[in-house]
Amino acid sequence: MKMNRSANPLWLLLLPVGLLGACQASLPEYPCLDKECGTWGGEDCGTCDATTWHCDAAGQCMDPTIMTWVPIAGGSFSMGSDSDSAAEQPVHTVTVPAFEMTMTEVTVRQYGECVTAGSCSTPNAYEPRCNWLEREEYADHPINCVDWQNGVDFCWWVGGRLPSEAEWEYAARSEGQDNTYPWGEDMATCDNTVMYNGGNGCGTNRTMVVCSKPAGTTSQGLCDMAGNVWEKVRDWYYTDYTGAPTDGSARETVPDDPDPYGIARGGSFESVASPLRTTYRYGHYRTLVRSWIGFRCVKDAP
């Protein structure tokens, strides 16, 4: 039977000593109020003040300022494109429930908090453009040199998940508008995105600070939905949209392929204009680690 802590503040005395220690370890310094957080041994363990803390997926109270979440209203849209690659066809109607998405690609600073907490593994910083190698200098650049599982682990840690491909495209198109790019129809240049134009990364040969191209944000205020780093999504890659979900969920059935791909979206600092389009799909191995791949998170609307 569930205990009512608000009616009996001495409920902690009823817990086994080992369980009490685990609960106390999971709580922040401040009193936890109003919002229940997780379970330990079948009993609720701690609550969070909904205005200053939130519960992460591990059942711990977390300072929400680590991430900025942007609400995305639900709706229906025509996903894909008839004018480009066959991988973007057929165009099909998808109804996406409301959700929230991180305003930025996950940064080095944010990912580092997860590593410090023991919930994320250290990135495979295999080459000089891996931002983790100089994480103080590049703290506000997107985390890169991470694989799909790194993204899953981090998003779980902050109480979210990787977006479905449909959620990602719907958000990139400013809640499903018929936009070629996140900002509209203007050509992709270094005025609105971090791309290959005069060299990789607009001549810097690497990523840039997140939200450094405000002209390229969506109508809802999402930064870098084109360029900077490719963003991993939850789906498996199929060669086209035949049989794809129409409810906004991810396509999580593994393809009948001995070497299945995952998907990334949005292009990177090495991309010319075409891969920066909102409908462009990039199939790659989920284990692929590169300096031009990162991710961002979503969570269900409250």
Q: Residue 12: what pLDDT? A: 29
Q: Residue 66: what pLDDT? A: 75
Q: What is the DSSP string of 113-141?
A: HHHHHTSSPPP---STT-GGGGTTTTTTS
Q: In the chain, what's the furthest Cα-to-Cα distance?
A: 66
Residues of each domain in the chain carrying CATH 3.90.1580.10: 69-300
- Overall pTM > 0.85: no
Q: Which residue has the tokens 């070497």?
A: 259
**What is the chain's alpha carbon radius of gyration, rounded to the nearest angstrom?**
21
C-alpha of 262 from chain center = 15
pLDDT tens, residue by residue, 131-168: 999 999 999 999 999 999 999 999 998 889 999 999 99
Q: Distance between CA atoms of 46 and 30, rounded to whole angstroms? A: 11
C-alpha of 207 from chain center = 17
In this structure, CATH architecture of domain 69-300: Alpha-Beta Complex (3.90)
C-alpha of 181 from chain center = 19
Q: Distance between CA atoms of 282 and 89, rounded to whole angstroms? A: 14
Chain mean pLDDT for the chain: 84
